[in-house]
Structure 1
């Protein structure tokens, strides 16, 4: 508790330097520009300046938007369907409403939104499979970090404090959040006071203890998809719970992705798997690779590899996959797939049992049903009698060269987090807002059972802005 009458050091303290934190800090700076008394803003970042940006810095940052830069009209319903009605529909509608102006905000600061061809269909526009080029910032999330970060660096009202850990929120005698206790790089603690605090420091995927507590056993076997999320230690959740905040999202849920095991490159995701097959360490198929488009499937195969396949799997395909125009753009590793003229030779390169692989492939090939193979749509070309079946894109793996990639599952973010209202205010279980406290981005919970993708960076930017606008309105009223 604090009871000092000393004026606060800052008008806004933002914890986190990813999309949500940058959006909050910069939006607050713009909204309060020209005030009679200049505002002061602090942005706290656990990492060094060179490693700043959390998960945002490393992601390709797909954006689930149409060509006119509006959110996919099916997304809110999609979240509702996969969550079984548990997700906050009004939150999703807010994302839909705020998408276009939020993208205009980042574009104004130099972030270019590009639409680039992708070799396989997605459902980012109305829920219907489409080959329309998906959107992303040119340069990925790093472009957001650098452009918005530079704008903050150039604002004399902003203090950016690197290598600074947030330990505990402070409140007035009336329960109003008025600052944060931090630990700096020299190990010493310091109290920063502020009129409002925004928690924007990610989930708890970088904290093995919390992962194990919430997600369950074998959490320690989950590698991080990028180095920046090692700093996502659950600080926001821990500090908010200490003040009685409510939670949202599925706490044993994670967004896991299949990544290339041969590389340490961040975000080395295997998106373009639909036309091949997955086998586990025993060379057995375990997943319907064609049950839906890649965007509705890649998270589920990642989770399955971690949860039930001992973190070991192999993607196998042949020349028909290699012939798909631009297919290598869907394999984000910096190491090309292993390639061979026979399955036996491919197995040797992958370090797996060749006889078992050949047997599984022969059984799969024999189960392929009739129809025309068309990787640009759900072609209905399926297996007959195979377990698991392949619902689309089932074509025999019989044409050299054969290709393969050893994959494992990496954690990207956690589902469970803080509950907020539509202004980004942290709320208690009764729905009462905790005065002076906001949260945005992956620190806040939303998803249950599945993450309809390409919206994580987007919702982070949107609710960072909304939190800043509400905080500014409270202070300038």
Structure 2
């Protein structure tokens, strides 16, 4: 790597080293290989080199695709449905169109995409429950960070600045963005001149003040799902708003997931909960665990635990769940579930009221209706006369060993962010693009009411590339 002289403007300054930022920087580097002079690219990363990658580094990065690298065709309309029509449908359709070529880009750089069996059905394949093996990169999001990062490490046109905070965007007399004021590890500030800036530094999930302002009270009780999330401080939103940018997405909306609270392992998510029950700290059920497939409910469980259950819940199941082939692959904790031969012993291990747990389980067991239990599909095996009901996969918890996991809700990302057009350009409320300013990934707002999953990393990669290609075309020397 070489460092451009302070007096020479960068052609591109990327704020953030996650999927969106890496995609933008590397795509721009490739798009400018034929320039008559070497392009200059800077990447600003809040963390150290060892921790680089933000949230991307820690995610398993499910990809909502089929073997042909095509996006679930139902996804754009799914987003529109759950958002009540508020989400940008053309943005979602752009994600669908660009998925194959974007995945070809990361695969070309050594990211291997695997399709591995999962023990429970999902709706990643046409919107209907399916046991089709879901896709993810080998090694998760960390492989994206390391593979794309390695290509940038080796490029002499790229200057990567670690432990560097972006403070403000600067503009020329005509209002076009022309640089970034940054603070380095020594605490000193400087202005980096740049012909184009891409904001790719995540949402505001790592900023308790902004979470409280937008999401509401008790936001401080939300732990982060992974260490890299702490660097997502809302910098993109703050800096863009200073220039009059518009916003998109639900600002009091968050993507939260139920995680094992016994461990500090990142992304210790409990996906395989549909075949057991959830109880709160008072040992009362509070959620219909079988109302939909795990991918359409795990976020809602997480939000409910945080907002209404005082961040305390327990997942309880028995030997019938343990017998599901591969079920432990849906429990991402590094600590196995607590296990006991009786509910009383399990309650002791979990540190909860045994009598109350036994009462709740007895009421649940008595309400289980007829039918054949089948965890591979909506089996219609439900409870009768129970509130809340269990709409599918309701089977009595009566066969030892009994298992349990104490869970809490951890925040992954925020819904609200900067608004962009389909080229990734940041726009004002009138829809006018702010010259020289782009944004991609979770820094941009999209979702309302729910996040149809397995697309966060994908949309970050796609719009990082779109921003880079548009910027390269606009800046190409005559």
Question: Given the two structures, how large is their TM-score scaled by the length of structure 2?
Answer: 0.98
Aligned-partner Cα distance in 1 for 2:262–2:219: 21
Structure 1 SS opposite 2:54: coil
Q: Summarize the alignment of residues 88-167 of structure 1 with structure 2, pairs less than 5 Å apart.
A: 88-167=88-167
Q: Summarize the alignment of residues 313-462 of structure 1 with structure 2, pairs less than 5 Å apart.
A: 313-462=313-462
Q: 1:15-39: per-residue Cα shift (whole Å, max 9, x none)? A: 0000000000000000001211110
Offset at residue 9 of structure 1 (A): 2.2
Q: 1:265-284: per-residue Cα shift (whole Å, max 9, x none)? A: 00000000000000000000
**2:3: which partner in 1?**
none
**2:309: which partner in 1?**
309
Q: Summarize the alignment of residues 179-218 of structure 1 with structure 2, pairs less than 5 Å apart.
A: 179-218=179-218
List alignment gaps of at least 5 residues for structure 2.
1-5
Q: 1:376-395: per-residue Cα shift (whole Å, max 9, x none)? A: 00101000001000000000
**1:3: which partner in 2?**
none
Q: Summarize the alignment of residues 256-271 of structure 1 with structure 2, pairs less than 5 Å apart.
A: 256-271=256-271
Aligned-partner Cα distance in 2 for 1:229–1:411: 9
**2:79: which partner in 1?**
79
Question: Given the two structures, how large is their TM-score scaled by the length of structure 1?
Answer: 0.98
Structure 1 SS opposite 2:239: helix
In the TM superposition, structure 1's runs of 4+ consecutive aligned residues that sit over 6 Å from their partners are none
Q: 1:387-442: per-residue Cα shift (whole Å, max 9, x none)? A: 00000000000000000000000000000000000000000000000000000000
Higher mean C-alpha displacement, 6-15 vs 66-75: 6-15
Root mean square deviation, CA, Å: 0.7
Aligned-partner Cα distance in 1 for 2:306–2:475: 47
Aligned-partner Cα distance in 2 for 1:117–1:193: 49
**1:245: which partner in 2?**
245
**2:291: which partner in 1?**
291
Q: 1:338-363: per-residue Cα shift (whole Å, max 9, x none)? A: 00000000000000000000000000
**2:15: which partner in 1?**
15
Between Structure 1 and Structure 2, how many residues are aligned? Answer: 472
Aligned-partner Cα distance in 2 for 1:442–1:244: 19
CA contact (8 A) 1:8 1:195 kept: no
Structure 2 SS opposite 1:20: helix
Q: 1:35-78: per-residue Cα shift (whole Å, max 9, x none)? A: 11110000000000000000000000000001211000000000
Q: 1:90-110: per-residue Cα shift (whole Å, max 9, x none)? A: 000000000000000000000
Structure 2 SS opposite 1:55: helix
**1:40: which partner in 2?**
40
